[in-house]
Amino acid sequence: MNSPRIGSLLVLMIILGTSCATSASSEADFGPQTTGGEPLWRLLTASDAVNANLSRMETALVSASLALKETGIDGPAAQAILLNLTKADASVIDCVTIDASGIVREVEPASFKSVKGENLKWQSQVNDTINTGMYSGIHFLKAVEGLYAIDSEMPVFDSNGTLIGTVSLLFNSSQFFGKVLEPFQPAGNSNIWVSRADDSTILFDPDPAQAFLNKSSFLYQDYPELLRLFDRMSFERTGYQTYDFLDEAHFKTIKKGCYWTTIPNRGTEMRLVLSLEL
């Protein structure tokens, strides 16, 4: 183990301990002092893996943007760049170019050609990228392709430095996080999952029945501690708490304890959560 990683683990433990000081009395039997280092290390390394893979996707978008600077956002050359961008990750759904008016100009793969000509400027991430000329992070949304997904937009400039549009990479959140987090998943009724901060929409859970549910979903209403957890995660970037919920088979209710941290991102704020069966 190298010293920067050890330092990061210590920082995470300190943050978890201090951020939850107000609730420590009610969580006396669960916390960094009683859990041990391995679960926290698992969460830290999983967070590192998520960040590294999101950075890899961003780098692929930057490369596509620079290539489109030379070719423009229309025509066979632009299509070839988009097709290459679809290979950035197995979770990619499609890649498009969008002009400065918000109109989709090119799409790859060809199976999504129906979105060509759509005006997407009503989508906040498209509008923000066009208006600011800056990368705006990743955003969870209901896409015009008809499914929930994560979108990432990169501005495209011509050789004179004038903004001509954006290049977009749309990917499946469940597939992306599932593959990245698989090596770090604990056994049994413990797991790592990802949620949106504001309404606790489940972006990934090993239990597919919970995909895209949120704190208002019927499944969660009989578990007040879980609802309190969702509320806390909406405004606390790190923390820990115990709660009752169903086991992985949805056969019985069990006691769990969880730690969460934040996935750094300029767009949709997301929580990475490690839940442990107690």
Whose structure tokens read 């969580």? 27
pLDDT at 15 exceeding the cut of 90? no
Contact 265, 177 (CB under 8 A): no
* 61-174 CATH choice from 3.30.450.20, 1.10.3720.10, 3.30.300.30, 3.90.1150.10: 3.30.450.20
Mean pLDDT of 5-22: 47
Instruction: Say how many CA atoms lie within 13 Å of 204 toward its Cβ.
Output: 26
Does 14 have pLDDT greater than 70?
no
Per cent of the chain over pLDDT 70 is: 90
Q: pLDDT class for 20, splitting at 50, 70, 90? A: very low
Strand partners, 148: 142
The string of pLDDT tens digits covering residues 138-186 is 999 988 888 899 999 999 999 999 999 999 999 999 999 999 999 999 9
Q: Which amino acid is at 179?
A: K
- Domain residue extents for the chain: 3-35+185-277, 61-174
pLDDT band at 16 (very low <50, low <70, confident <90, very high): low
23: pLDDT strictly greater than 80: no
pLDDT at 47: 96
Asked whether the beta carbons of 215 and 200 are under 8 A apart, the reply is yes
Residue 192's Cβ-side half-sphere holds a number of Cα atoms within 13 Å equal to 24
pLDDT tens-digit profile of 214-268? 999 999 999 999 999 999 999 999 999 999 999 888 899 999 999 999 998 989 9
- If you average pLDDT over every residue of the chain, what do you get? 90
pLDDT at res. 31: 86
Phi-psi bin for 163: left (phi > 0), alpha (psi -120 to 50), beta? beta
CB 260 within 8 A of CB 274: yes
Per-residue pLDDT reduced to its tens digit, 88-136:
999 999 999 999 999 999 999 999 999 999 999 999 999 999 999 999 8
Q: Do 3-35+185-277 and 61-174 show the same overall fold?
A: yes
pLDDT tens profile 198-225: 999 999 999 999 999 999 999 999 999 9
The pTM for the full model equals 0.88
pLDDT in tens, 86-95: 999 999 999 9
Q: How confident is the model at residue 28 (pLDDT cuts 50, 70, 90)?
A: low
Cα–Cα distance measured from residue 209 to residue 46, given in angstroms and rounded to the nearest whole number: 22
CATH fold of the domain at 3-35+185-277: Beta-Lactamase (3.30.450)
Residue 26 confidence (pLDDT) above 90:
no
What letter represents residue 13's amino acid? M
Cβ-contact 198, 216 below 8 angstroms: no
